Amino acid sequence: MSVPSPLGVRAYEAADWPAVWTMLEPVFRAGETYAVPREITEQDAHRIWVELPRAVRVAEDETGTLLGTYYLKANQAGPGDHVANCGYIVSPAARGLGVAGTMCRHSLTLARELGFTAMQYNLVVATNEVAVRLWQKHGFAIAGTLPGAFRHPKLGPVDAHVMYRSL
């Protein structure tokens, strides 16, 4: 399978929220990849995905159907604000089509444009092997592994990686 053509990435708009929430909710409820409460409210999800980040983007196909979303923010405040942090979610129907890779490339470019000099993923769940391989393909290295740092709902405590790359 390949990326739907053409695949565009654009700025999030308020009208996108219902479609974004339909992507976020099942991932958050599953509790297998994001360190958010599984019972998170839609309002709290909106706050962490849309209101707090510096930028939010959506990926869409030629018909305007949303296929994925990502946020970009400073990883830390003050002396750490030159390092970006992102989170990505792809619609279940678009998984395996290259959407996450497209959003990753887009986020790296956007982070550079916004003045960031590096990007860090703080908690890449080690059992999410597809994500680990994808981020490595895009130049991220495992900077460290946190033993048992993620409580997986099916597997119990599993390792989580901190992944990093310069921009």
Domains in the chain, CATH or no CATH each:
8-119 (3.40.630.30)
Question: Which pLDDT band holds residue 5 (cuts at 50, 70, 90)?
Answer: low
The label of the residue with tokens 């990502």 reads 70
CB-based contact 19:67 (threshold 8 Å)? no
Residue 148: per-residue pLDDT? 97
Collapsing DSSP to helix, strand or coil, 34 comes out as coil
d(CA 53, CA 55): 5
Residue 2: per-residue pLDDT? 46
Backbone angles phi, psi at 12, to 5 degrees: -65, 140
Question: Whole-model pTM?
Answer: 0.92
d(CA 129, CA 33): 11
Mean pLDDT of the residues in the chain? 95
Strand pairing category for 141-152 and 118-125: unpaired
Position 3 pLDDT exceeds 80: no
- Maximum distance among all Cα pairs of the chain, rounded to whole angstroms: 43
d(CA 60, CA 7): 6
Residue 43 corresponds to which tokens in the numbers above?
């309002």
Q: Mean of the pLDDT values across residues 96-122?
A: 96
